[in-house]
Amino acid sequence: MTALSPFWLFLIIGVVLLATELVVFQFTTFWLFFIGLGALVAALFAWGYSGATLMITTAVFVVASAVITAILYVPIRRWQQAPTTLSDNNAIGQKVAVSEAITPEKAGTVSWSGSQWQAELVSGSTAELAVGDYARVVEVEGIRLIVSAD
């Protein structure tokens, strides 16, 4: 069996990471997105530079991932935390299942509308929601749900 060339290796890594971010995390974390883009840049480098070794392509991958993260992290984070402009958001008032524990100190995740959403307790709440508990959506901030104990 022959070893994968750096082009194919980083192309496969990039596609797998981007697909995982899209399908599993549904663009809620973005870390796999940044690293996946870095892998695609490394694959393009290996494709365009015929003398690319695995070590050089890996260095390009690390640098590209760091640069992409530095450039995109703040704007994407700002977008995630922006208040929603939807006046008639159908998430508000919905009952959601807690997938990752939520406490006043720590955000978690809830399942709503077939996907996982970042969620935090409404300001001033002292409730602690465990996995399997239910909560009610009281507000939407960007792509985060603000919930209260149901």
Tens digits of residue pLDDT in 72-130: 999 988 877 776 555 556 778 889 999 999 999 999 999 887 888 999 999 888 889 99
What is the rounded average pLDDT of the residues 60-64? 97
Long-range CB pairs of 133-136, under 8 A, 24+ apart, other chains included: 133/97, 133/98, 134/95, 134/96, 134/97, 134/98, 135/95, 135/96, 135/98, 135/102, 135/110, 136/93, 136/94, 136/95, 136/96
Query: Mean pLDDT across the stretch 16-31?
Result: 85
Name the fold adopted by 95-149. OB fold (Dihydrolipoamide Acetyltransferase, E2P) (2.40.50)
Domain boundaries of the chain, sorted by first residue: 6-81, 95-149
Cα–Cα distance measured from residue 94 to residue 145, given in angstroms and rounded to the nearest whole number: 11
Could you say which DSSP state residue 26 is in?
T
Mean pLDDT of 14-41: 90
Q: What are phi and psi of 96, to 5 degrees?
A: -125, 150
Task: Tell me the whole-structure pTM to 2 decimals.
Answer: 0.58
CB atoms within 10 A of CB 129: 24
